[in-house]
Amino acid sequence: MLNISGLTIEHKSTPLVKNITLAVGKGEWHAIAGESGSGKSLSSLAIGGLLSETLTVTGGAIHFQGVNLLSVSKSSLRKIRGKEISYIFQDYQGSFTPFLTIGTQFDEMLREHTVLLKKERYSLAVAALEEVGLSGQEVFHRYSFQLSGGQVQRAAIALGMILKPKLIIADEPTTALDSVTAASILTLLKQQQKKTNCSVMFITHDLRLVKKYSNFVTIMQNGEVVEQGKPGDVLTRPKHDYTKHLISAIPPLIPNPPRRLTVEHAAEVR
């Protein structure tokens, strides 16, 4: 499905992503984890040709369904983006512009990639919004700043999946949300993924989310891949010191659980 090999990205001759290689299989939820600045976002932006002009890809290839995305024209890449590969970003600034209604942005996407009539585009957008648990007609006419963070991300998933892409790149899609909303968003993404059997590239710094949702994980540090494998292996038997460090930094769910209280509570329950 997606094969990144030897990808190197530089800023003024300084390498920021260094010779990384990873593969995302069909229907796989592949997490890319690592601390801030490790190169996760740049690597994912390079796939869709979304790197800023100050950055240069100086090496490697990104094969998507057999085509090297680094050698296709900008207009072909625009067609692939949205229809075959879609992005879900951290917040509305990434997924939706605040200057247009949600509906206008759905309509633009459908106009660019389909031959549907206006009425059909409207029906499809409303149905897609309903599918992610939103009130379709209402949300269609709203601006992103008139929605909660969770609603924006539901709408972003609806937009990201409306054309049934083969690959969804979700870059920290729940970082700006509380943990309950975040869990519902990731569950929704997982359900949608199962329905279409698309692949997900999931960028996160939260190893708890890696464990819960992904089938494969790539750990990055300072622009390099340091470890890859199944989360069950990488998180329980990490080989690299950096992975060990990341695991040791996971905050416990209950810091210093009150022992006496737990015992008393257990007695109460009994």
Ligand X SMILES: Nc1ncnc2c1ncn2[C@@H]1O[C@H](COP(=O)(O)OP(=O)(O)OP(=O)(O)O)[C@@H](O)[C@H]1O
Contacts with ligand X by CB under 6 A lie at 11, 16, 34, 36-42, 52, 54-55, 205
Q: Which is nearer to ligand X, 39 or 231 (CB)?
A: 39
Shortest reach from residue 123's CB to ligand X, in Å = 37
CB 31 within 8 A of CB 24: no
Q: Which is nearer to ligand X, 52 or 75 (CB)?
A: 52
Q: Which is nearer to ligand X, 11 or 83 (CB)?
A: 11
Among candidates 141, 123, 131, which has minimal Cα distance to 161? 131
Q: What are the b/e assignments for 5-19, b being 16+ CB within 10 Å?
A: eebbbbeeeebbbbe
Strand (E) or helix (H) holding 220: strand 216-221
Phi and psi torsions of 5, nearest 5°: -130, 125
Q: Which pair of structure tokens corresponds to residue 194?
A: 């199962």
Shortest reach from residue 34's CB to ligand X, in Å = 6
Q: Which is nearer to ligand X, 205 or 212 (CB)?
A: 205
Amino acid at 178: D
Shortest reach from residue 36's CB to ligand X, in Å = 3
Q: Which is nearer to ligand X, 113 or 205 (CB)?
A: 205
Q: What's the number of CA atoms in the CB half-sphere (13 Å) around residue 133?
A: 14
Shortest reach from residue 223's CB to ligand X, in Å = 6
Shortest reach from residue 252's CB to ligand X, in Å = 22
Amino acid at 135: S
H helix intervals, 3-117: 40-47, 74-83, 92-95, 102-113
DSSP 240: S
Q: Which is nearer to ligand X, 11 or 78 (CB)?
A: 11
Shortest reach from residue 257's CB to ligand X, in Å = 30
Amino acid at 120: E
Radius of gyration of the chain (CA): 20
Q: Which is nearer to ligand X, 38 or 199 (CB)?
A: 38
CB 220 within 8 A of CB 20: yes
Shortest reach from residue 32's CB to ligand X, in Å = 8
